Amino acid sequence: MVPRYSTVSWKWLLIIFALLGVISSVFYSRHLSARLEQDERVHVNTWVEAQRTILQSSDSASITLATQLSVQNNRIPIIETNEKDSITGNYVNLDSQQVNNDPNFLSRKLIEFKRYQSKPIVLVLNENPYTANHYYYGKSSLLDEIRWYPIIQLLIAALFIALLIGALRYMARNQQQTLWVSMARETAHQLGTPVSNLKGWVELLKERPENIDIARELNKDVNRLQLVTDRFGKIGSAPNLEKDFPANRITEVVDYMSRRMGGQVAIHCDLEGIQDRSALISPPLFDWVIENLLKNALDALEGKGTISVSGQVDKSTLVIDITDTGKGMNSTERDAVFVAGFTTKKRGWGLGLALTKRIVEQYHGGTISIHWSEPGKGSCFRVEIPCLPA
């Protein structure tokens, strides 16, 4: 089986380029973070040396310079402990209101800082007896922002890719629908003249009594061709929906199809559940939906098996199931079965189920889905359309 639709490789190229950009940004951000961590440790060391000068120097100029260096640290949070690692109560760049309101705030922050930098910067005040201050510091807000930056960038890139792919898919879908409409109308136009000519030949056959039976059967097929022409002509324009009984329409299509099925194919109908329920439908297009699904089931049987058509009402919805005992579908086929151009047959355009989906969903406000399918056991297609009150 070769599906007749191409993979949209540009989407993957777009995603790969975006991911490469984000990965490059992540590595560069990590590089910046490492450099900033080193710079911050140097700043903290400088700040500690400034504290040493303030505490031990008697030179006013040195103390003034050290004070200026100390004040310049306005972003790196620091907590001071003594030689026994007990908090002295001195800290910088932490919320003083939280410190005053929460007795355990500094303790929690100290644990956090130790996870970030387990070894403190030590300022020895006296060798004998030994006294010292230990300084633990945490990450600055700038360092946190740099570390969050690649994640934010990744989210923005993912959103951009999603929007771009969505827009391109929308444009491609519109172009595809325009192509369908053009093909359908051109087909209707091309069929119009030969169908009219065939009608004339049928009338000539009727003039001879011995050809009446032949003319009658030919007339049925010519009328069928005319119906197909009308269906194609309606694609792309808003159909006229009218009150009708879907069960009656289904029965007519089943009767027509059953006369053209092989002797080893059986078809069963159980439409009692929807027999008296009406809906707003376009009869020619609704018939086309049922016919396409029956043809699809017939192809799946490959000349032998059973097709079942059933209907029921679920609240205000008509539920119609068309089940076959054919070859079934795997997960890949189920995902692509309604895609225009996909087909498992050697011949065919792969438009039947795609047009069926369009007719059901866009023209009748319903849904069509694969209710179930299993390779070797068969498939069940489900059509749901709104019904009128009983």
Sheet strand arrangement including 378-386: 265-270, 305-314, 317-324, 378-386, 367-374
Degrees, nearest 5: CA angle 367-248-191: 75
What does the alpha-carbon distance between residue 330 and residue 341 come to, in Å, rounded to a whole number?
18
Q: Which fold has domain 238-386?
A: Heat Shock Protein 90 (3.30.565)
Q: By C-alpha distance, which of 358, 355, 305, 361 is closest to 328?
A: 305
Q: How confident is the model at residue 236, as a pLDDT?
A: 63
Q: How confident is the model at residue 348, as a pLDDT?
A: 64
pTM: 0.54
What does the alpha-carbon distance between residue 106 and residue 370 come to, in Å, rounded to a whole number?
62
pLDDT digits (tens, 9 = 90+) for 246-261: 999 999 999 988 877 7
pLDDT digits (tens, 9 = 90+) for 193-205: 787 888 888 888 8
Q: How confident is the model at residue 5, as a pLDDT?
A: 42
Give 13: exposed, middle or buried? Use CB within 10 Å, 0-12, 13-18, 19+: exposed
Q: How confident is the model at residue 210, as a pLDDT?
A: 84
Spans of the chain, pLDDT less than 50: 1-7
* Amino acid identity for residue 389 in this structure: P
Q: How confident is the model at residue 195, as a pLDDT?
A: 79
> How many alpha carbons lie under 13 Å from residue 353 in its C-beta half-sphere?
26
3-class state of residue 323 by DSSP: strand
- Burial of 174-204, coded b for 16+ CB within 10 Å and e otherwise, reads eeebeebeeebbebbeebeeebeebeeebee
Q: Cα 275 from chain centroid?
A: 38
* Amino acid identity for residue 350 in this structure: G
Q: How confident is the model at residue 140, as a pLDDT?
A: 80
CB atoms within 10 A of CB 8: 13
- Locate the domains of the chain by residue range: 9-143, 238-386
